[in-house]
Structure 1
Amino acid sequence: MIVVEIGYALADKQKLLRLSVPDGTTVREAVLQSGMDQHFPGLDLAGSPLGIFGKAVAKSDARVLEEGERVEIYRPLIADPKEVRKQRAAKAAKGRADAE
């Protein structure tokens, strides 16, 4: 058995759980075993993006956990950051053109 932490946070609430899992447990398996969805109704543990110590894990169903790692459950993005930057740049360019 190894001990890992599972964390999830909203703007006004956060939870960090310590969990003992069998050696060889994957990131997704640990999250599903955590029961974090009981603390946050509506949380989709099967589909949420996951990371370890702030770095996204692309293949959470294949990545095996090591002793002491902290798994983070990420919330879906509300807006695409690239699109927001494009819109902000276009607005700034329009503002400069109008000022000339």
Structure 2
Amino acid sequence: MVDPVIEIEVVYAAVDRQVLRSLSVPQGTTVREAVLKSGIGGEFPELDLSDCPLGIFGKVVVDPQARLIQTGDRIEIYRPLLADPKEVRRLRAAKAAEAKARNQ
């Protein structure tokens, strides 16, 4: 008996281009397995698909090795942040406070 297949999408946005792949995978495939089967790693050799953070429709998947995909899922491959958003906000607030103190 043939395992049922499900349709999903895998997306990755690099700095200079985006790739969206639609593929059919067997039911019971995990998020990580689907990303590895997508072939996106061949186009972006700098990606470590075995360890990079993944999400589905904008929500981070905590354990992509265990989470099974569902029909219609859009798996997103996340790139590392260049700057920590909390640190950037902290520096911006400190700079604004310093400017306010100078103007008083």
TM-score range, shorter chain: over 0.9
Q: 2:14 and 2:46 mapped to 1: Cα distance? A: 12
Q: Percent identity?
A: 59
User: Superposition pairs for residues 25-44 of structure 1, below 5 Å?
Assistant: 25-44=29-48
Q: What is the root-mean-square deviation in Å for CA atoms of aligned residues?
A: 1.0
Counterpart for residue 75 of structure 1: 79
Query: Which residue identity lines up with residue 29 of structure 2 in the other structure?
Result: T
- Does structure 1 residue 50 correspond to structure 2 residue 48? no
Show structure 2 runs of 5+ residues with no match. Answer: none
Task: Report the AA paired with residue 93 of structure 2.
Answer: A
Scaled by the length of structure 2, the TM-score of the pair is: 0.91
Corresponding position: 1:94 with 2:94: no
Question: Could you tell me how far apart the structure 2 residues matched to 1:80 and 1:34 are?
Answer: 29
Task: Select between 69-78 and 39-48 the one with higher mean Cα deviation.
Answer: 39-48
C-alpha distance in structure 2 between counterparts of 1:21 and 1:87, whole Å: 45
Larger mean Cα displacement after TM superposition, 39-48 or 21-30: 39-48
Deviation beyond 6 Å, 4+ runs, structure 1: none
Counterpart of 1:13 (choices 9, 14, 17) is: 17
Tell me the secondary structure at the aligned position of residue 41 of structure 2.
helix
Unpaired segments ≥5 residues, structure 1: none
* 1:15 aligned counterpart, secondary structure: strand
Name the count of aligned residue pairs.
100
